[in-house]
Amino acid sequence: MKVWSKHIKEKLKEIEDFLLDEYKENKEQKKRDWRTYEQQLGRRIKGAIRNLEPLIDEATSTIKVHREKGRKPTLILKQKVMLLLLKELVAKSNRSMALMMDIFSILSGIDVSYKTVERLYSDPEVEMAIHNLHILILKKKGVHEIEGSGDGTGYSLTIRKHYASEAEKRKERIKESKTQDDGVKKGKKKKLFIYSFKVLDLDTRMYVSYGMSFISEKRAFYTALSMLKENNIKVKRMRLDRYYSHPSIVNSFPDSRVYVIPKINSTLRGPQKWKDCMISFVLDTRYYLEQYYRRNQSETEISVDKRWFGWKIDQRREDRINTAHSCDVVWHNLFRLY
């Protein structure tokens, strides 16, 4: 069968009219055993906590820093990383975490101020250690070739705006940068959200790469894509939502099969990779949808993360926001490691 651009529109209408409902009706629904789920979750958390220290030791062992003469740091690198990760896990403010450290100091001998905790987010040694920890966890799990799925989300920078609520009201428009003028001086604008994109390995449910941006979700996507290439992670198949249904984005995965639902105005114009994708969508729609809707797992994992770590980021500087985001990714992968 010869495929033309009009066939894409016809297939989209066919899906909208009856094929999608039929697919959802025939899809096997698995009932969750909550007792088993809680037991598995408990084991994962205990495993993550138990193995955290040896993993940090290994991640920090290769970092050598030459220091000039001056005041010796209060904490060694291992302690800095441990403190920051624990702070993100318990979702405490900088000041609250410092107060908790006053209690822990009875046992640990560590006594720090909230400013010390805050500066950890912009400490280059900590940033390197967190990155090393991310790579180390993937290696421990043997992640080098993935069944990929990607999804973006946003984190609120103010308690007054919830990203999910705003996204529901504004639909796709929320994926681009929005600001507000309330309570700020003329000429300055306050950022409402930070945008995040994460690439998930569907087999291990680990994040293999991630990115953040103040500008748009798409910029966060390209940051995550760069990280994917830098880490030499091969992608067998990639699933992306309709926001990324564009020839140039599909062409960004030259060695992978890509599954996206085309937009209503999509055509066959573009590189061969895009044409192959659209032809597959038209001629083998059922299998195409089965592969595409595996990306629901990305939405699920992001939702779980927000329940664990919160939907709001308390940091304001971009470097500190990136560090907070990286800590959450590390914890997510730690829970899936054992």
Tens-digit pLDDT profile for residues 183-196: 334 445 557 789 99
Residue 181 — pLDDT band, cuts 50, 70, 90?
very low
Q: Kindly state the tokens that stand for 70.
A: 């001056």
Tell whether pTM > 0.85.
no
Q: Which residues of 283-302 are buried (b: 16+ CB within 10 A; e: fewer)?
A: eebeebbebbbbbebbeebb
The pLDDT value recorded for residue 288 is: 94
24 vs 250, more confident: 250
Q: Which residues of 27-41 are buried (b: 16+ CB within 10 A; e: fewer)?
A: eeeeeeeeeeeeeee
Q: Is the pLDDT of residue 276 over 80?
A: yes
Decide if 177 contacts 191 (C-beta within 8 A).
yes
Task: Provide φ and ψ at 172, rounded to 5°.
Answer: -70, -20
Sign of CA dihedral 74, 80, 86, 91: positive
Residue 239 — pLDDT band, cuts 50, 70, 90?
very high
Average pLDDT for 8-31 = 69
Average pLDDT for 115-129 = 90
Going by C-alpha positions, the residue among 113, 93, 114, 155 that lies closest to residue 325 is 155
Residue 103 — pLDDT band, cuts 50, 70, 90?
very low
Q: Kindly state the tokens that stand for 327.
A: 């800590």
Decide if 163 contacts 193 (C-beta within 8 A).
yes
Residue 90 — pLDDT band, cuts 50, 70, 90?
confident
The pLDDT value recorded for residue 268 is: 93
Mean pLDDT, all residues of the chain: 82
**Dist CA 96 CA 73 (whole Å):** 21
Q: Is the pLDDT of residue 325 over 60?
A: yes
The domain limits of the chain are 5-27+144-316
Question: Quick one: what percent of the chain has pLDDT higher than 90?
Answer: 49
102 vs 230, more confident: 230
Residue 338 — pLDDT band, cuts 50, 70, 90?
confident
**Least-confidence region, from 14-23, 111-120, 266-275:** 14-23
**Which range in 57-66, 132-141, 148-157 is most confidently predicted, on average pLDDT?**
132-141
The pLDDT value recorded for residue 74 is: 77
**Least-confidence region, from 185-189, 241-245, 320-324:** 185-189
Q: Is the pLDDT of residue 328 over 60?
A: yes
